[in-house]
Amino acid sequence: MHTVTCPSCAGSVADERRSPRLVLASASPRRSQLMQEIGLKFDVIPSQVAEGGISAGRPEELVMLLAHAKAADVAKRLKAGIVIGADTIVVADGQVLGKPVDSADAAKMLRALSGREHQVYSGVALIDAGSGRSLTDYEVTAVRFRQLSEASIERYVATGEPMDKAGAYAIQGLGSLLVTGIRGDYNCVVGLPLGKLAIMLSEFGVDTL
C-alpha cells in the first residue's frame, strides 16, 4: 500500500479523536492542494482503478461511477477512515474528452473546444471504510473557450500542460488563457468541487466550517 501523508496536515492526537481519518484516493496534486486550502487533514493513498474499464450512458453517471470505484478501491484496503474518490471529465457536444494519449490527440481536443462552450463534470464519492456507508454526487460547470489559432494550439500543446488533463487543458495553469468565462463552480473544473465536498463530509460528521 502506498501511503503519502500530507506534510502540512499533521494534527494533534486530540484532533484525530474528534474527527475520522480522511483519505484522498487520488495522486492529483491539484486535488490535494484544494483540500489543503480549506484546512482538511488527510492522507493520500492513490487508487489503482483503470479508468478505461468503466463506462456509462450519461456523463454524470460516468463520473460518479469512476469516483466511487476509486474510493472503493482504497477503502477495501483500510479498516477505518473516510475515503474520498473523485473524477473529472470534459464533455463537448455529448462526447467525453478524457486525457489525451499524445500531442496530436491534445491538439484535436483543443480544436473541438475552440470558440465554444463545453461542460466539465466532477464526481465525488465518500466511503466509510469501517461501515461501508457511501455517498456519491457530482457537480457540472460550463466553460467557454475563445477562438484558438493553430499557432496558439501548437504553443500550448508544446508546453506539455495538456497531457495529463481531461479535455487537454488546465484552467488553473496556462489553460486559463484559453477561457473567456465559466458558469458554475471553478473548483469543479480544477478537479474537486469543494462546496459539494463540504456538504457530503458533513453527512459523515466532518465539519469544514
Active-site residue set:
87
The Cα–Cα gap between 74 and 141 comes to: 27
Cα-based distances in Å from 77 to 1, 22, 23, 112, 168: 8, 14, 11, 40, 32
The strand pairing partners of 119, in sequence order, are 91, 142
Helices (H), the chain: 13-18, 29-37, 59-75, 103-113, 150-158, 186-190, 194-202
The strand pairing partners of 5, in sequence order, are 43
Cell of 66: 469512476
The Cα–Cα gap between 4 and 2 comes to: 7
Helix (H, G, I), strand (E, B) or coil at 138: strand
The strand pairing partners of 96, in sequence order, are 91
Tally of CA atoms within 13 A in the half-sphere of 159 that contains its CB: 15
Q: Cα–chain-centroid distance for residue 8?
A: 21
